[in-house]
Amino acid sequence: MKRREVIKKIGFSFGAVTLTPSLLSVLNGCDFKQEGWQPKFLSYQEYDMTDKITDIFIPKTDIPGAKELNLSRFIDAHYQLMLSSAEQKNIKFLMKKFSDMLLEKTSKKKLDEVSTSEYENQFSRLLKADKLQRQRWQKSYNDYTKKLNKGEAVKPLSKDINSYIFLDGLRQLSIWGFRNSEYIGEKVLAYDPVPGQQRGCVDLIETTGGKSWSI
pLDDT tens per residue across span 155-200? 999 999 999 999 999 999 998 888 776 544 454 444 445 455 655 5
How many CA atoms lie within 13 Å of 134's alpha carbon, on the beta-carbon side? Answer: 15
**pLDDT of amino acid 162:** 98
The larger pLDDT score, comparing residue 20 to residue 153, is at 153
pLDDT tens for 86-102 read 999 999 999 999 999 99
| Type of residue found at 97 | K
CA angle (61, 79, 176) in 5-degree steps = 35
pTM for this predicted structure: 0.76
Which pLDDT band, with edges at 50, 70 and 90, does 201 fall under? low
213: phi then psi, degrees, rounded to nearest 5? -75, 140
The larger pLDDT score, comparing residue 122 to residue 181, is at 122
Q: Does position 73 have pLDDT exceeding 80, yes or no? A: yes
Residue 190 pairs in a beta bridge with 213
Q: What number is the average pLDDT over the span 111-134? A: 97
Q: How high is the mean pLDDT of the chain?
A: 79
How far is residue 212's CA from residue 6's CA, in Å, rounded to a whole number?
Answer: 10
How far is residue 121's CA from residue 163's CA, in Å, rounded to a whole number?
Answer: 13
How far is residue 156's CA from residue 154's CA, in Å, rounded to a whole number?
Answer: 6
Do the beta carbons of residue 45 and residue 84 sit within 8 Å? Answer: no
Burial class (CB in 10 A: 0-12, 13-18, 19+), 51: buried
Q: What number is the average pLDDT over the span 10-38? A: 53
**pLDDT of amino acid 190:** 44
